[in-house]
Chain A
Amino acid sequence: MIRLEKRPTPSQAWTWATPVLAVLLTMLAGGLMFALLGKDPVAAIKIIFYDPLFNPQFAAYSRPQLLVKAGPLILIAVGLAMGFRAGIWNIGAEGQYIMGAIFGAAVGLAMYPSDSWMIFPAMVIAGAFGGFLWAMIPAVLKVVFGTNEILVSLLLVYVAEKLMAAMALGPLRNPEGGGFPGSRNFQGYPAASNPELFPNSGMHWGVVAAIIAVIFGYILLSRHLMGYHIRLAGQSPRAARFGGVSPARLVIFCLGFGGALAGLAGIFEVTGPAGQITTSFNTGYGFTAIIVAFLGRLNPIGILLAGLLMALTYIGGELASFMLGLPSAAIQAFQGMLLFFLLGVDVLSNFRIKIGREGHA
């Protein structure tokens, strides 16, 4: 009989080994899925994990993409991790990401065609504010009326999507676009654009912001009283109340911080890789970041690595569907497996497996 026995102290080794184990299990199960779909599993795994970085034919294009994709994922995930650590479940980062893009883009477009150096910083601030504001809706509703932040934040994603479509077709539409939906392209507006900082690196201001967020998040959690209170509230809400932690303050802080970072990701994306507000500007970073946050063990350093890994599966997945004709749903299932296995093997850091007979039936 196999039993689980609770460890007296969580195992440090397993805490770091479980993500690696989860990736290996995903490769196995994913390979099986690819085989069932009639594709060569070894080739598919190689295309997903190896070719984007090292294949001489594709790497020149895909390597910079790694940072382009990882940047927003990491930025959003660091913000979400604060809330998840405290037991506050912001599922609507996608909406906050959209609102950040709209707010920031609106500021930039209102200034067109001024070329003041202040435009881009103002847009960044407006973007963070937009995300923050959108996150304040579930936060305030939770604090005042006790609503469930999971539902409210999630449903607001769809509101934000509609709002974005309305913006792309209405107030923010490019007046010189011949009536096509979509805003002006910021790549043609240097004062408001977020270009690649080094040629072919994929590095843009959003990636810089993500790295700063990782460092900031790490210090907050490990050194600051606020981070301590976040961890305390997540592990033991009653002990947190005894410690004088105000639940309302925590909800406002965690949702606000996560919203602001998602908003930042939005404005850096719209001014950089995406270029413009369109009816389908968002690509699910806000949802994938939830996986990244957990894959990184809600630890900012872990999130940095997890974001890079997740970006790799995105790029490799695209490559695999292009090269092998794998359906994109199979790639999404593959990414879902990663989260599934991670949560599954997570139990090993708190429990040890005992094999053998035990009297208790």
Chain B
Amino acid sequence: MTDLLTLQGLTKAYPGVVANDDVSFSIGRGEVHALLGENGAGKSTLVKMIYGLVKPDTGTMILNGTPYTPAEPRAARAAGVAMVFQHFSLFEALTVAENVGLGMENPPKPTQLSREIREVSHAYGLPLDPRRMVGDLSAGERQRVEIVRCLLQDPKLLIMDEPTSVLTPQEVEILFATLNKLKAEGTSILYISHKLEEIRALCDGATILRRGKVVGSCNPRERSASELAELMVGQALHRPERSRSAPGKVVLQVAGLTSEHVEEFGTRLQNVGFEVRAGEILGIGGVAGNGQDELLSALSGETLGSSETVRFQGNAVGHLGPNARRALGMLSAPEERLGHAAAPDMTLVENAVLSGWHRRKLAEGGFVRWGKAKDFAEEIIADFDVRTPGPFVAARALSGGNLQKFVIGREVLQDPSVLVVNQPTWGVDAAAAASIRQALLDLAAQGAAVIVISQDLDEILEVSDRFAALNAGKLSAPRSTEGLTMEQIGLMLGGAHDMDVADTDEAEDIRETYEEGRL
């Protein structure tokens, strides 16, 4: 059997960085092939070349035995290559069918398209109602829209970029069942991820990229996760160390927290309540978009509520703004690094002032002490190993991981009593993620109460003492993470968001309603 796609010596350089350097490997027919690597290893550039978004500087690709040089994604799709992106390209205000039609070259008539969507989604165990508004769908369902859009084009090669990052464990299982079915039909899949256990469960072959180069290839089923990790990172990974100690007094109490008004497609918090003790880390899991941003805003003071909803050391603070809460010792680090936690065009020194001026006394009589601000920025850079040419560099010039270390460092070095972080290691390479987690553990060990909001369940299990799930704006009762299994967590997260495999009564009902509507 010949290989479906062969890459030979692909090289792509950008100013100052070689994104891919002489990359060669091949994907067999019906093979699920993993592309492993840290953020910035060159995975994205490589798949963009395969999908026709980027043209390689040198090197050749052979698809189905013939030279393959897609000039644009349309050509790639015509050749049978389809891709599901990590960030969905969907319009929230349009229906599923409209979104699918927009991504096709020659979409069939709407009725015909709706029928095809139903048939394909049913056949692959991904039920979808074509009439629903995408804005109302969960992340898992949105991903189905993207997958179905690809499947309608009957691809030979399906590229999936970090598909499980937005899914609950149960949804991951459904996805894997679908992928295995596709594989059995002879479709090849290029699967990009840095989640090693998934790759070991799903993939037949793996190519590992590091700094743009292929550093190894293997059968992931024959390697342990730690072997794969070492290949990926190039060094033994430092695992964060933790010591469980008896938690102290309750520092933060949240009770009856309900959003008063919500932006469109935002999520309303509904009667959220929990307590955090000194020296404890509470992990709040759940797929992004289920109220995480709203919860962070309510805790940081960006959205105000009635004073009793948030209590800090017994005092009602729900009505206080961000600076008043900072003065008390309640600090936070939002998810969006550029534009929320930091101003992209401002220097690190200026960004150090953003949340640090009050506690670090960087302003006197209303005047900013830029000398002290620079010292503070340099302290963060040194203590948190932020890789930057200097403190007077614009925040946007830093890589995601380095800026995240800066943002977390800025808050940690202000000696908080409560620190709330949202997605602290999203898009951050493994080494930086480990150091951020260690910093959070150390902060808790010094007696601070820490809340980690994250959709990375492994991360939550690694650092937190108790776990609560945030789903559709509701928070489950926190449970100790000791002895908590992935399956239990999945159930706390709302199972598969009420999604089931296709041959169920529900899918049957949908089809019947639909056909009645047509007739």
CA distance A9 to B357 in the complex (A): 24
Q: Is A10's CB within 8 Å of the partner chain B?
A: yes
CA distance A223 to B371 in the complex (A): 11
Q: Which of A8, A243, A360 contacts B322 (CB 8 A)?
A: A243
Binds A, one of B36-44, B49-57, B208-216, B423-431: B49-57
CA distance A223 to B364 in the complex (A): 11
Binds B, one of A64-72, A106-114, A224-232, A329-337: A224-232
Q: Which of A9, A225, A242, A244 contacts B367 (CB 8 A)?
A: A225
Q: Is B30's CB within 8 Å of the partner chain A?
A: no
- B340 and A8 form a contact (CB under 8 A): no
A55 partner residues in chain B, CB cutoff 8 A: none
Chain B 307-327 near chain A by CB (<8 Å), digits 1 or 0: 000000000000001111010
A328 partner residues in chain B, CB cutoff 8 A: none
Known: A359-B55, A360-B54. A236 touches B339 (CB 8 A): yes
Known: A225-B363, A244-B301. A239 touches B71 (CB 8 A): no
Q: Is B18's CB within 8 Å of the partner chain A?
A: no
**Would you call the interface of chain B mostly helix, strand, loop, or mixed?**
loop
Interface size in chain A (residues, C-beta < 8 A): 25
- B321 and A244 form a contact (CB under 8 A): yes
A242 partner residues in chain B, CB cutoff 8 A: 300, 302, 322, 334, 340-341, 354-355
CA distance A232 to B53 in the complex (A): 35
A361 partner residues in chain B, CB cutoff 8 A: 71-72
B302 partner residues in chain A, CB cutoff 8 A: 241-242
- A238 and B368 form a contact (CB under 8 A): no
Binds A, one of B343-351, B448-456, B482-490: B343-351
- A8 and B354 form a contact (CB under 8 A): no
CA distance A8 to B402 in the complex (A): 15
B397 partner residues in chain A, CB cutoff 8 A: 8-9
Q: Is A147's CB within 8 Å of the partner chain B?
A: no
Q: For window 345-361 of chain A, which residues contact chain B by CB distance below 8 Å?
A: 358-361
Q: For window 201-240 of chain A, which residues contact chain B by CB distance below 8 Å?
A: 223-226, 228, 231-232, 235-236, 238-240
CA distance A360 to B300 in the complex (A): 42
A10 partner residues in chain B, CB cutoff 8 A: 345, 394
- A228 and B368 form a contact (CB under 8 A): yes
CA distance A235 to B342 in the complex (A): 10
Known: A9-B393, A223-B367, A235-B345. A360 touches B340 (CB 8 A): no
B501 partner residues in chain A, CB cutoff 8 A: none
**Known contacts A225-B368, A235-B345, A359-B54, then 9 further A-B pairs from the complex at CB < 8 Å, ordered by chain A residue:** A10-B394, A223-B370, A235-B343, A239-B342, A239-B343, A244-B301, A244-B321, A246-B321, A358-B55
> Taking beta carbons and an 8 Å cutoff, which residues of A are in contact with B?
5, 8-10, 223-226, 228, 231-232, 235-236, 238-244, 246, 358-361
11 contacts between A and B (CB under 8 A): A9-B393, A9-B396, A10-B345, A225-B357, A225-B363, A225-B367, A228-B350, A231-B346, A242-B334, A359-B55, A361-B72
